[in-house]
Amino acid sequence: MNTRSLRFRMTAWYASLLAGALVLFSASVYVGLHRYLDLSLRRLLTEQAQSIGGELLIQLPQKGPDWLKSEINEHYAPSENARFIRVNRNDGGLVYLSEPPKNESFDPAVIPMHPTTGAHDYASNVEISGRQKLMIEQLTFRMRDGSAYAVTIGAPYQQVETVLHGLLLTLAGYTPLMVSLAIGGGYWLMRRALRPIDVITQRAEGITSTNLSQRLPVIQTGDELQRLSTSLNGMIARLEGAFQHINRFSADASHELRTPLTILQLELESIAQHAQLPRALAEQMGSALEETQRLSRIVENLLTISRLDAGEGRMEKVRVDLGKLAVSTAEQMHLLAEEKLISMQSKADEQVWVEGDRARLKQVIVNLIDNAIKYTPKDGAVVVAVTSDGRSARLEVADNGIGIAADALPHVFERFYRADKARSRESGGSGLGLAIVKAICGAHGGEVKIVSREGKGSHFIVELPLCDPGKHRKFDHEKVGEDGRPGVWTTIART
| Tens-digit pLDDT profile for residues 337-387 | 888 889 999 999 888 999 988 888 998 999 899 989 988 988 899 999 999
Q: 5: Cβ–Cβ under 8 A, 6 or more apart, which residues?
A: none
Model pLDDT for residues 45-89, shown as the tens digit of each residue: 888 888 888 888 888 888 888 898 888 888 888 888 888 898 888
Highest mean pLDDT of the ranges 144-158, 275-289, 379-393, 415-429: 379-393
Burial 73-108 (b: 16+ CB within 10 A, else e): beebebeeebbbbbbbebeeeebbbbeebeeebbeb
Say what the pLDDT of residue 328 is. 92
Q: Give 317-493's CATH code, choosing from 3.40.50.12590, 3.30.70.1290, 3.30.565.10, 3.40.50.10490.
A: 3.30.565.10
Q: Which of 157-171, 289-303, 396-410 has the lowest mean pLDDT?
A: 289-303
Say what the pLDDT of residue 284 is. 78
Q: What percent of the chain has pLDDT over 90?
A: 12
Give me the DSSP letters along 450-464.
Answer: EEEETTTEEEEEEEE
d(CA 176, CA 194): 26
Report strand pairing: 447-453 vs 381-388.
unpaired
Highest mean pLDDT of the ranges 211-225, 280-294, 444-458, 475-489: 444-458
* Residue-range domain boundaries for the chain: 6-163, 224-309, 317-493
User: For residue 461, what are the β-bridge partners?
Assistant: 396, 449
Confidence of residue 247 (pLDDT cuts 50, 70, 90): low
Confidence of residue 181 (pLDDT cuts 50, 70, 90): confident
Kindly report the average pLDDT of the chain as a whole number. Answer: 79
The answer to whether the CB of 385 falls within 8 A of the CB of 456 is no
The answer to whether the CB of 403 falls within 8 A of the CB of 377 is no
Can you tell me the mean pLDDT for 378-399?
91
Task: Classify domain 224-309 at the CATH topology level.
Answer: Helix Hairpins (1.10.287)
User: For residue 451, what are the β-bridge partners?
Assistant: 459
**Number of Cβ within a 10 Å radius of residue 409:** 19
Of 425 and 317, the structure prediction assigns the larger pLDDT to 317
Confidence of residue 479 (pLDDT cuts 50, 70, 90): very low
Say what the pLDDT of residue 131 is. 63
Say what the pLDDT of residue 394 is. 92
Model pLDDT for residues 102-136, shown as the tens digit of each residue: 877 788 888 877 765 554 456 677 766 666 788 88
Say what the pLDDT of residue 485 is. 39
428 has pLDDT over 60 = no
Say what the pLDDT of residue 182 is. 80
Contacts 24+ apart (CB under 8 A), 222-228: 225/196, 225/197, 228/200
Can you tell me the mean pLDDT for 274-285?
73
Burial 144-173 (b: 16+ CB within 10 A, else e): eeeeebbbbbbbbbbebeeebeebeeebee
295 has pLDDT over 90 = no
Structural class in CATH, domain 6-163: alpha beta
Model pLDDT for residues 189-209, shown as the tens digit of each residue: 877 777 888 888 888 888 876
Say what the pLDDT of residue 361 is. 92
Say what the pLDDT of residue 488 is. 39
Confidence of residue 290 (pLDDT cuts 50, 70, 90): confident
Can you tell me the mean pLDDT for 386-408?
89
Please check whether the two domains, 6-163 and 317-493, share a CATH topology. Answer: no
Confidence of residue 486 (pLDDT cuts 50, 70, 90): very low
Q: 265: Cβ–Cβ under 8 A, 6 or more apart, which residues?
A: 289, 292, 293, 296
User: For residue 447, what are the β-bridge partners?
Assistant: 463
Confidence of residue 494 (pLDDT cuts 50, 70, 90): very low
d(CA 325, CA 320): 8
d(CA 359, CA 351): 19
Confidence of residue 281 (pLDDT cuts 50, 70, 90): confident
